[in-house]
Each structure stands twice: as structure tokens, then as C-alpha cells.
Structure 1
Amino acid sequence: MAVEGCGKCIKYLVFIFNLLFFFSGIGILAGGAYLASQQGGYGTLLPSIPVASAANLLIATGVIVLIVSFFGCLGAYKENPCLLMTFFLFLLLIFILELAAGIVGFIYRSDIEDYVTKDLMAGLSNYNRTNEGGLTDAWDLLQKQEMCCGVSNYTDWNVTMLYGNMNSVPASCCKGDDMSADCGDGVLSIPNPSVYTTGCKQALKDDFDKYLFQIGALGIAIGLFQILGMVFAMVLYTQIRNQGEFA
């Protein structure tokens, strides 16, 4: 027996909610893909900060949201209390996991700079070494894109023996179009070198702060949306069960 009156309105609200929830899942998937494309190239530089894992987590969450929204839509359309309860429990689990992740992220957000500094300094000495092609490419990508050099500043490269010269920086530090292999040779002994002098640590930290803020804002919006969905699902579940008992 189909629900009537107020219950019918709730049924349509649950269905509309899940349709919107489906599109939010697509948005989370897109966010994960965007994060992977923006920061995935730096993954080898920052082993202490699992950037790729964060992107994969968003992608996995998006897939789960799509599946859960399917249960919600089908449960509302069929007026099936079992599917509605499954939807409610899945939604509650996702909400709890999101809340836990947000709390952990908030607690450890101040440690990001320390992790970035430690990982980048460790990576300097392995630049251009055998079997370190991924790390070398990641350093070059970072310095070109962020227009930076070294960790705190360009003099950090004095810990390496680039091209047999302790006074050299990678060519990716060079300004403008001068990207020849030797453009960074000996620049650490020059008072005003033609390379980027600002370190990459702050640029990376700013990027992480920006992404964390965007993800946090998205998480709060989705969390509020999920609470609304749980309320609608439970109201519809109760309506269907009560109607079945008194039919």
C-alpha cells in the first residue's frame, strides 16, 4: 500500500535528496581527480604526507556515495523499509567517518609544515642520483611550477654535489627561458644569481592549506546535507512501517 498525504511528500523529498546526493558523489569524484592531478606529481617528495592516498580516498568516497544514493532512490521509489534502513545506516557510517577524518585533520594541520620541511630536506641529497628519477622529476616539476628553489631558499642546494660542483642548483631553478643544463652551475657563489631564490616549502604549505580549506568546506556542506537525508529517510521509514502495521 502506497504512502499518502505527508508521507508521500517525504517520499518525494527522499528521492530528490538522493538525486542531489548522487550529483554530490560525482562532485567528490571530480575533487579527488583534481587533487590527484594538482599534487600527484609531488608524491615522491612528501612520503610523510600521503597526497595520492588523499586523492584516492576522495575518489573511493565518491563511489560509495553513488552506491548509497542508489539504495536511497530505490528504497524511496519502492517504499521498501529494508532499503531505506540500509540507506540510513550507510549514510550514518559515512557521516561518522567524515567527522572522524575532519577531527584528525584539524588536530594535525599545524604539523604539515614540519612534515613538508623534513621530507623536502631529505629529498635534496637524492636529487639526480641513480634510481631516483621519480624524485628528480618531482623536484623539477615543483620548482618550475611554483617558481621556487630549494626548501627554505635556494642555498639549501649546497648539501648536494650537482654536476661535481657544490655551488650549483638544478636547471629547474633558473628564471625565464634559460633552462639549459648548466644554467644553475656555480650560482651559489654569485651575490645576485639569475635563479629563483625563494624556497618551495612555503608554496607547498600554502597549497595544502588551500586544499584542506576547500575539502573542509565541502565536507561541512555535505555533512549537513547528509543529516537532512537521514532525517527524511527515517521519517519515511517510520511512515511505511506504521502504515503497514495499521493496514
Structure 2
Amino acid sequence: METRRETSNSCGTICLKYILFIFNILFWLAGGAVLAVGVWTLVEKSDYINLLNSNFYTASAYILIAAGAVVIVTGIIGCCATLSEMKSLLIVYLVLLLCVFLLEIIAGVLAYVTYQECFPFCHQLDEELRQNLKMTMQHKYHQAGEDSVTQAVDKLHQEFQCCGSNSSSDWRDSIWIEATQYQQLVPDSCCKTPSILCGIRDHPSNVYKVEGGCVMKLEEFILSQLYILGALGIGIAVLQLFGMMFTCCLHHNLKDEPY
């Protein structure tokens, strides 16, 4: 009877080890995805973030990178604890899972409360940010020492197919437009088919006339990023629940087995 019980416990422990190991791989991949989104936002979209003249989105990218790194480290600890069958390491892993899960819950609650407080204006960027983007375009585009801003604005126009902060008419008060000798109305990057001096003609058939301008496009981009991160967060939270359950079961089985 004792031999049969030990065999049964061993089989159950082996199954739990494989399940928990697979979970840790999925958890590690989820952390890698969060880390990748943070790095991608910081590297590929940093120009747009700088145009908004706000540290909020840069801080968000760093938070994503830190969160992804924590999840990856937690997954690695989980793999080590599972393979080594060390009960003390399993407890450390369980505590880390619980801490990350609680932080996700707190962050979700705070986000919901913040959304409720600012509803129905949360779907729009703050007016100060709108004005910052407009002033940046009007006062820094094609100005000495502002090459990075000029490149970012041109890239923004072409990638999001928009023109100006709120509309193409924003360029009428641009320092560069007022100083140009070619009577250009908008930058050439506003043109649907960019070419030299194509911005002299700002007809809708020639330049992008998007309602809401580039601010609206940036808002849509930020919201899409939030949806992706929300989906990843829900997926990670579900994985954590299963992970904590399997970890407890494995710890219990290891405690009952002979050393």
C-alpha cells in the first residue's frame, strides 16, 4: 500500500511539474511581450512622445519595461523552483506571483477610478497637450537646432496621414511658413504624394485633411496601445491564478513525499 501511494504521489508530482513548467514558459513569454511593447514604444515612437512635451508616456514605457522584466525574472525563478523541487524556492515564487497579481489588481482599480473621475473627457488628450503639440509645430518646425522636431513632425504627417495639430490651418501661424519665400501653406510632408514645394497647394486632393488633425491620430494610437496592454494584463492575471494553484499543489505533494 505504501509503495502504491508513493508511486501515485510521484506520478501526480511529475504531472504538476510539467504543467507548472509549461505555465512558467507562457508566463515568461507574456512578460517578454510586455517588455517588447515597452521597448518598442520607447524606441520607435519616442519622437511622437517628445512632440507631446509630456513625461507621462515616457514614464509609462519605462513602467512597461520594468513590469516585463519582473515577470520574466519571476518566470525564471518558477522554472528553477519547479525543476529543483525546492519547497523554499516554490514559496518565494508563490509570493512573487501573489505580489505581481495584487499590483495588477491595484493598478486596474486605480485606472478604473481615474477613468470614472474624468469621464467623459478621458477619451481625449488633455487640452494642454494639444496646445503643446500645436506650439511645438508652429515654433520649432524647421528652426535652427530643432532637426529632431522637424523629422518627427514629417514622420507623424506621413505615418498617420494627417496635417497639423488640430488641422492643416494650424500652419498659417507657423514661424517657418511666415518666413518661407515660396508662399508655402503647409509642409511638403502633409502632401498625399510628397514632393518639393507640393505644400504650396493645400487643397484636400493634395494634402491630408483629417478631422481632429494629428492629435486625434495620436490619441487613437495611444488608445490602441492601451487595449493591447489591457489584453496582455488580463492574460497574465489568468495565468497567475492557475500558476498559484499549481504551485500550491506541487508544494503540498512535495511535502508528503519522502526525501
* TM-score bin, normalised by smaller chain: 0.7 to 0.9
Unaligned runs of 5+ in 1: none
Q: Is the 1:149–1:197 contact (alpha carbons within 8 Å) kept by the matching residues of 2?
A: yes
Kindly report the root-mean-square deviation, in angstroms, between the aligned alpha carbons of the 2 structures: 2.9
**Is the aligned partner of 1:176 residue 2:193?**
yes
Distance in 2 of aligned mates of 1:136 and 1:93: 44
For 1:19 and 1:151, the matched residues in 2 are separated by: 44
TM-score for both structures, normalised by structure 1: 0.82
Q: Does 1:46 align with 2:52?
A: yes
Identity %: 31
Correspondent of 2:131 among 95, 99, 118:
118
Contact in 1 for aligned 2:51/2:152 (Cα 8 Å): yes
Do residues 128 (structure 1) and 128 (structure 2) align? Answer: no
Q: Which runs of 4+ in 1 moved over 6 A?
A: none
3-state DSSP of counterpart to 1:47: coil
Cα displacement string for residues 179-229 of structure 1 (whole angstroms, at most 9, x for unaligned residues): x1x3324x5xx6767322221111111111111111111110111111111
CA distance in 2, matches of 1:64, 1:41: 27
Distance 1:100 1:169, change over 3 A: farther
Q: How many residues align?
A: 240
Distance 1:224 1:192, change over 3 A: closer
- Whole-Å separation in 2 of the counterparts to 1:99 and 1:112: 25
Match of 1:218 among 232, 243, 250: 232
Per-residue deviation, residues 55-112 of structure 1 (Å, max 9, x unmatched): 3333333322222112111112222121111111111222223333334444358165
1:159 offset after TM fit, Å?
2.5
Aligned-residue offset at 1:243: 4.9
Residue 97 of structure 2: aligned partner: 91
The correspondence for 2:155, drawn from 137, 141, 163, is 141
Residues 188, 194 of structure 2: 8 Å contact kept = no
- 1:196 pairs, out of 208, 231, 245, with 208
Query: How far apart, in 2, do the equivalents of 1:49 and 1:228 lie?
Result: 36
Q: Provide closer, same or farther for how the CA distance between residues 82 and 55 of structure 1 changes in structure 2, counting only shifts above 3 A.
A: same
